[in-house]
Amino acid sequence: MPMPSTGLFNIKSSDVASIDLDNEVRVSAMTAECLSCGSTTGVEAGKGLESLPGGVVITCCECGSRQAVSSSLFSGATSRS
Ligand SMILES: [Zn+2]
């Protein structure tokens, strides 16, 4: 399965805790490649990763690029066991 790209970040791996029935995703940690500065950044809840209704916001720890990511990207990610 292709890794989801959000435009600013290529998500390498994500640690999805749960997705609620209303599609609110809870991601505890994620590794993403920042396409702005080329670094791979690891984020976790409260540290570069903010949960929002319907998605999360990733902040690159190197260059500060931020992007909201829809929780729909993770619906596929959780189907892997
Ligand atoms: Zn960056």
Share of the chain above pLDDT 70, in %: 79
Single-letter residue type at 48: G
What is the spatial distance between Cα 62 and Cα 26, in angstroms, rounded to a whole number? Answer: 23
What are the pLDDT digits (tens) for 4-42? 676 899 989 888 777 777 767 778 899 999 999 999 999
42 Cα to the center of ligand 1, angstroms: 11
Residue 49 pLDDT grade (very low, low, confident, very high; cuts 50, 70, 90)? very high
pLDDT at 64: 96
22 Cα to the center of ligand 1, angstroms: 31
Q: Does pLDDT of 44 surpass 90?
A: yes
21 Cα to the center of ligand 1, angstroms: 32
In terms of C-beta density within 10 A (0-12 exposed, 13-18 middle, 19 or more buried), how is residue 69 classed?
A: buried
